[in-house]
Structure 1
């Protein structure tokens, strides 16, 4: 089954993009999205692209979600990143009891969430819930979120509970942000505006209904919420972010090239053969990576829709396309950054920001070089050797 037609959320992202672009300098300086813009993004559903329709979300398919993040990231990479992370976290509600989800919304007025897959917390069983301690880093958008999903190791006293393979068992706990502490640690070279601070909870009780594991069956039926595809749909929107940053960089160079030369020549950049060639290369790189991503996503969506008994190859192909999109986006940005010459060094234009942002973005696990290795092994008839495949 092919992917559905693009979700209206893509057009909503396109409409709000000029406001994001206008606020980009403030986002960079303050390390967060301004309150007024944040409210518009939240009202449009752009922080919760994967939130189930049952809870008022768009429940956008992965291609539409990636396209929406791409539009936002063209305007500002940090805002695209925060929307991306929030959207990934919003999918966890599909695994939770509906009564618990409605109670959470009533409790804080919102289901907007930050979170982390890294098991940096400890959860000890206590009565009908868990006693939780932990500190999680890289909490993008935490200041504007109502909830934080923190993955914890389940403990039995001082020892972790283990599965049949001896691996520590984990579970994500949903914590009201107001019940923890946000710690300002975000002093970085790129994606400055994401406000990816640390978040800590100390001796906090969390009822069992506010915990979740993707190893359990989802409560909502959809190709978007099938456990085997959990990882690739999470990372598809990461590719949308990197591709959007690359497109934004190309557009920025076009504006620079139409009105400037360089310190060594008054000839406009657009009239130079080297610049023309590099822009052409960058355009081909981004378009090719994007086409591969959406082709692979369509094939995997069809496998999820059909409940394929073994979607390993489709999953490997999406994993590869996501990593490829990230690194090709960085390569395209490098090309246009070089093409701009000394102009690229000035913060008066945003090309240097796209450069910094994309090189931070590709440090994410979605673009890890190991994805190339894992996909290669699958295509050679071997196990991927990587978790979540």
Structure 2
């Protein structure tokens, strides 16, 4: 198993805990809770989809369901799972922050590539989450600073901290295109490597699996072409959480 791709992906998640996911939380949760999150040094994992049921309670929400692809969850101090929005969120989903010990981790990540990411499923059974431990995914930022205007989903594009909808679409297109181009490059190298590369123990076989997986990611899939095209035509994007 080639570890380089998986290690890079996992390290990116850890590095972006203070950038990508905390951007979501710090932008959208109450400011007093933001202050409580600062300085905790938590390693985080997130799996917002598929959105699962949550029953409102006096304190917050009682959460149940199963979420896919929680990369890094085995090492996480806290994870984020997706629950439905309501009138208060204008229909946008919420993210609920939960300690992994309150969830079941289903070790079902049996895949041809990126095996080391440990992108297992998470299961919650009647887990109560205080409202202050939730945030609105895609809600208005609570901190009006350039850093927090960064498009939270476009984590692959590190060059801009403030971008327009059209620039965001270009960045998303670039990331999707890069994923496919990288796969094509590896396949071409294999085709030029002769019969040696057809054996299972050849290192290129592991790389073939690794380059297959990223281009199937929801944020790098062919659906990004349709969504970006819609934005360029002045229409709403065709996939959720495009911004």
TM-score (norm 2): 0.83
> Does the residue aligned with 2:74 lie in a helix, a strand or coil?
helix
Aligned to 2:42: 111
Contact 1:142 1:148 (8 Å CA) reproduced: yes
Deviation at 1:105, TM superposition (A): 7.6
Q: Deviations over 1:304-357 (max 9, x none)?
A: 4xxxxxx22212211111111111111111111211122223454422211111
Unaligned residue ranges in structure 1 (runs of 5+):
1-24, 29-74, 155-160, 238-296, 305-310
Cα 1:135–1:78 shift into 2, 3 Å: same
2:142 and 2:236 map into 1 onto residues whose CA distance is 30
Deviations 1:126-146 (A, max 9, x none): 113111112112111111001
2:72 aligned to 141, 150, 165, which one? 141
Identify if the C-alpha distance between structure 1 residues 205 and 374 changes in structure 2 by more than 3 Å, giving closer, same or farther: closer
| Cα contact 2:93–2:137 (8 A) shared by 1 | no
1:189 aligns with 2:132: no
State the 1:149 CA deviation. 0.3
Residues 225-272 of structure 1: CA deviation (Å, up to 9, x unaligned): 227x2332x3x16xxxxxxxxxxxxxxxxxxxxxxxxxxxxxxxxxxx
| Corresponding position: 1:323 with 2:176 | yes
Match of 1:19 in 2: none
- 8 Å CA contact 1:323–1:366 kept in 2: the answer is yes
* Map of 1:93 onto structure 2: 25
Question: What is the TM-score of this pair, normalised by structure 1?
Answer: 0.54
Find the aligned partners of 1:219 and 1:383 in 2 and give their Cα distance. Answer: 24
Matched residue count: 237
1:119–1:153 contact (8 Å) kept in structure 2: no
- Per-residue CA deviation, residues 152-203 of structure 1 (Å, 9 max, x unaligned), is 125xxxxxx46898xx552110000111111111111111111111111111
Distance 2:179 2:153 in 1: 16
Using CA pairs under 8 Å that are at least 6 residues apart, name the structure with larger relative contact order, 1 or 2. Answer: 2
- Alpha-carbon RMSD across the aligned residues, in angstroms, is 2.9
SS in structure 1 opposite 2:109? coil
Higher helix proportion: 1
**Is the Cα contact below 8 Å between 2:108 and 2:121 reproduced in 1?**
yes
**SS of the residue 2:52 aligns to:** strand
Query: 3-state DSSP class of the match of 2:51?
Result: strand
**Whose Rg is larger?**
1
Please, which runs of 5 or more residues in structure 2 have no aligned partner?
none
